[in-house]
Amino acid sequence: MERRSFIKKTVLSSFTALIGAEIVFGSKIQNGYTPLALQDPDPYKLFSKNKDMVILNDKPWNIEAQAHLLDDKITPNSSMFIRNNGRTPEKINPKDWLLTIDGESVKSKKTYTLDDLKSKFQKHTYQLTLECGGNGRSEFDPPAKGNQWTIGAVHCASWTGVRLSDVLKDAGIKSNAVYIGYHAFDTHLSGDPSKEPISRGCPMSKALQDETLLAFEMNGKDIPLIHGYPVRLVAGGWPASVSGKWINRISIRDRIHDGTKMTGTAYRIPCNPVAPGEKVKDEDMCIIESMPVKSLITYPKTGATIKEGKSLNIRGHAWAGELEVSKMEYSIDFGTTWTTCPIEKPSNRLAWQHFSAKIDFPKKGYYEVWARATDTNNTAQPMLLPGWNPKGYLNNACHRIAVKVI
């Protein structure tokens, strides 16, 4: 006769409390089974996100903002995109957390507790722009595989932590150091503990920048679990995949890091332009480093309506990877002519910049307001989709909103 193990009364009581109603026949639930009502939690409540956020995937979680949700100068948690590659850690005890520094190019393997980081090294706070390398992928034709991000996989929060450079130097860097690679607590979707969902990194020159942090606070509070609690790497201006979450180990490498999603076509684009749909050999793909110049109109929402004779006030943000934005323009005639508008200096290097403009329209009708940023190398955003690439990375086409004058 089949032996069945039923859940204990304490577990059943917990289920009942979470669901908020009596579980009729709850005593019949087999051990290990979770009621459906608890299997699909509301991600908006679970992650404290705005209801206007758009869910692209739940295995793993990938959620993006809409332009109007990014209107704040410092992005709040409620509007920050989520990009995961594996299973989010369920719980991490900060008292047990350890960071290990190892690798071929470290003088001696070393570990640090969270208290070590906070007490031994100087704290720094920076506003840092993080953008998914695939932001804008949905516009590519032919389509590129992956999450079909539109414009909302970007944010600029305030991060507090210690400089990665200070920790690496304390551990000891050998002269042959080339790259760092991170490792973390998240687990592979398959559940296989031998597989890492992602393990990327960056050259030593980026790792040693002042603004590259081992962060433990976001916007003045502990980092939410979904964004990397208790400690994450933050390397602004580069693809957000470089800013590993739930960090527990950093390897100082004597070669380009070869972890998961560092090889093949992952976070790489063709070294030279290719025709749409063309197949590209792995060896002809180059690692993405600094993100391209880009901008976003965050107010008003697309579809705005105003009365004839009234002006329209717009605002938004612009960023340029490792560079600054030197000029901001808008167009209301589909890019035929452009008008310069004010743009603020960044609060610190690698933070996005804020622009605004007051626009007058000549008569009633339909218009589109296009925004275009130019960086300090005099490179401007393309008006429409830039060069195609197999993975749909680095779409920095001008953002546009629709406006009707009545």
Residue ranges, CATH 3.90.420.10, the chain:
82-287
Query: pTM (2 decimals)?
Result: 0.89
Q: What percent of the chain has pLDDT over 70?
A: 94
- What's the pLDDT score for residue 2? 46
- What's the pLDDT score for residue 149? 98
Spatial CA neighbour of 181 closest among 161, 206, 211, 156? 206
pLDDT at residue 286 tops 80:
yes
- In degrees, to the nearest 5, what angle opens at C-alpha 137 toward C-alphas 396 and 373? 10
- What's the pLDDT score for residue 30? 79
Reported confidence tier of residue 301, pLDDT bands at 50, 70, 90: very high
- What's the pLDDT score for residue 84? 96
Q: Is the dihedral of CA 212, 216, 219, 223 positive or negative?
A: positive
Residue 138 CB contacts under 8 Å (≥ 6 apart), including other chains: 148, 149, 150
User: Cis bond leading into 342, ω under 30°?
Assistant: no
Fold classification of 294-405 (topology level): Immunoglobulin-like (2.60.40)
Mean pLDDT of 103-107: 97
Fold classification of 82-287 (topology level): Sulfite Oxidase; Chain A, domain 2 (3.90.420)
- What's the pLDDT score for residue 31? 76
Question: Which residues is 373 bridged to in the sheet?
Answer: 328
Across the chain, what does the average pLDDT equal? 94
Mean pLDDT of 327-344: 98
| Tens digits of residue pLDDT in 71-95 | 999 999 999 999 999 999 988 999 9
- What's the pLDDT score for residue 40? 57
pLDDT at residue 1 tops 50:
no
Which of the residue ranges 10-14, 234-238, 273-277 would you say has the lowest mean pLDDT?
10-14
| Tens digits of residue pLDDT in 186-211 | 999 998 999 999 999 999 999 999 99
Q: Rounded to the nearest 5°, which phi and psi values hold at 147?
A: -60, 130
| Tens digits of residue pLDDT in 12-33 | 776 676 667 787 787 887 776 7
pLDDT at residue 376 tops 60:
yes
- What's the pLDDT score for residue 5? 60
Residue ranges, CATH 2.60.40.650, the chain:
294-405
pLDDT at residue 152 tops 50:
yes
Q: Rounded to the nearest 5°, which phi and psi values hold at 158?
A: -100, 120
pLDDT at residue 43 tops 50:
yes
How far is the CA of 99 from the CAs of 84, 111, 282, in angstroms? 21, 5, 33
